Amino acid sequence: MFADGYVGTTEDGVRIRRQLKERESERKKFEAASKEKKDEADKAGLKQFAATTSEALEHAFKNETIGLVSKADFVKKRTTLQER
């Protein structure tokens, strides 16, 4: 790393290596905390399955209702899509 044209003292090299080790340990701590948080969310059953279902319903509803629609037609199409 330091052979690539780096000009500095030995103390600078030592400081740089120490900072790299500190960054690596901080990165590992962050990854461990992220993994732990994700595992807790999975255990709690907080998965995002409902979001994809509602998005699919919205897309199908948009395809069926084009232009101005009366309120009765709007409600009717919405309920039939939800029943499917």
> Which is more confidently placed, 10 or 81?
10
pLDDT score at 4: 65
pLDDT score at 33: 92
CA dist., res. 49 & res. 56, Å (int)? 11
Q: Which residues contact 74 (CB under 8 A, 6 or more apart)?
A: 65
Give the predicted TM-score (pTM) of the model: 0.43
CA dist., res. 8 & res. 16, Å (int)? 11
Could you read off the pLDDT of 11-67 as tens digits, one per residue? 988 898 999 999 999 999 999 999 998 888 777 665 555 556 677 777 777 777 777
